Amino acid sequence: MVSLPTTPAELLPFIIAVVTSHTFITLVFFPGFIHLTIVVMFLTWYERKLLARIQLRIGPLYAGGPGGILQPIADGVKLIFKEVMIPYKADKPLFLGIPLALVFLGALPFAVIPFGQHWVIANLDVGLVFVFAVGSLFPSMILIFAWASNSKYPFLGGLRSLFQQVAYEIPMWISALSVVMLAGSLNLVQIVDAQERIWFIGPAFLSFIVFFIASMAELERLPFDLPSAEPELVAGWFTESSGAIFMVIFLALYMKVYLMSCLITVLFMGGWWGPAFLPQPIWFLLKALVVATFIIIPRGVYPRLRVDLLIKLGWTRLLIIALANVFITVVLLSTGVLSAWGL
Amino acid sequence: MPFESGQVPQGEARKRIVMQYYPYLLVFVVFDVVGMFLFAWGMSFANIPASDSFLVLLFLILLGAPLGYALKMALKRENW
Amino acid sequence: MDLSIPPDITFIVLATITLLAAIMALQAKELIYGAISLAISFIGIAGFFVSLDAPYLAMLQIAVYVGAVVVLILFTIMLVRREEADKDEIGETGEGAAGLWIAGLLAVSIAGIAALAGPNLPSTPPAANLPISQLGPVLAGSYPVPLIILALLLSGALLGALVLAKVDR
Mean pLDDT confidence for A257-264: 93
Distances (CA, A) of B17 to A57, A158, A227, C74, C85: 41, 11, 15, 11, 16
Q: Looking at per-residue confidence, does A104 or A116 come out higher?
A: A104
- For C80-99, the pLDDT digits (tens) are 755 554 555 555 667 778 88
User: Is the dihedral angle over the CA atoms C19, C20, C26, C30 positive or is it negative?
Assistant: negative
Q: Are residues C142 and C72 in the same domain?
A: no
Task: Report the alpha-carbon distance of residue A54 to residue A68 in Å, rounded.
Answer: 17
What does the mean pLDDT of chain A come to?
84
Compare CB distances from A152 to B15, B20, B28 and report the shortest one's residue. B15
Query: Is residue A332's pLDDT more than 80?
Result: yes
Q: Are residues C76 and C1 in the same domain?
A: yes
Pick the closest to residue C56 from A167, A128, A340 (CA basis): A128
Distances (CA, A) of C121 to C12, C49, C117, C124, C138: 18, 20, 7, 9, 29
Q: How many domains does chain C have?
A: 2
B43: chain A residues, CB-CB within 8 Å: 180, 184-186
Lowest mean pLDDT among A63-67, A250-254, A267-271: A63-67
Q: Are residues C76 and C3 in the same domain?
A: yes
Task: Report the alpha-carbon distance of residue A200 to residue A191 in Å, rounded.
Answer: 9
Task: Report the alpha-carbon distance of residue A208 to residue A192 in Å, rounded.
Answer: 15
Task: Report the alpha-carbon distance of residue A148 to residue A240 in Å, rounded.
Answer: 10
Whether B10 has its CB under 8 Å from any CB of chain A: the answer is no
Pick the closest to residue A211 from A168, A253, A180 (CA basis): A168
Q: Are residues C71 and C146 in the same domain?
A: no
- For B23-70, the pLDDT digits (tens) are 889 999 999 999 998 998 888 887 888 888 888 888 888 898 899 888
- For A62-71, the pLDDT digits (tens) are 777 777 778 8
Pick the closest to residue A212 from A304, A282, A297, A316 (CA basis): A297
The whole-model pTM stands at: 0.88
C83: chain B residues, CB-CB within 8 Å: none
Residue B6 pLDDT: 47
Q: How far apart are the first and last CA of chain A?
A: 35
Q: What residues of chain C score a pLDDT lower than 70?
A: 1-2, 81-93, 119-129, 168-169
Whether C123 has its CB under 8 Å from any CB of chain A: the answer is no
Q: Are C66 and C25 in contact (CB under 8 A)?
A: no
Last residue of a domain, one of C44, C61, C82: C82
Last residue of a domain, one of C58, C82, C106: C82
Mean pLDDT confidence for A128-154: 87
Q: Which residue in chain B is spatially nearest to C151 when comparing CA positions?
A: B59
Task: Report the alpha-carbon distance of residue A306 to residue A311 in Å, rounded.
Answer: 9
Q: Which residue in chain A is spatially nearest to C33 when comparing CA positions?
A: A94
Residue B12 pLDDT: 52
Provide the β-strand partners of residue C139. Answer: none
Pick the closest to residue A314 from A235, A226, A215 (CA basis): A215
Residue C20 pLDDT: 93
Return the domain boundaries, chain B: 14-79
Pick the closest to residue C61 from A108, A103, A219, A137 (CA basis): A137
Domain that holds residue C156: 135-169
Say whether A133 and C59 touch across the interface (CB within 8 A).
yes
C40: burial class by Cβ within 10 Å (0-12, 13-18, 19+)? middle
Q: Are residues C139 and C78 in the same domain?
A: no
Mean pLDDT confidence for A211-222: 85
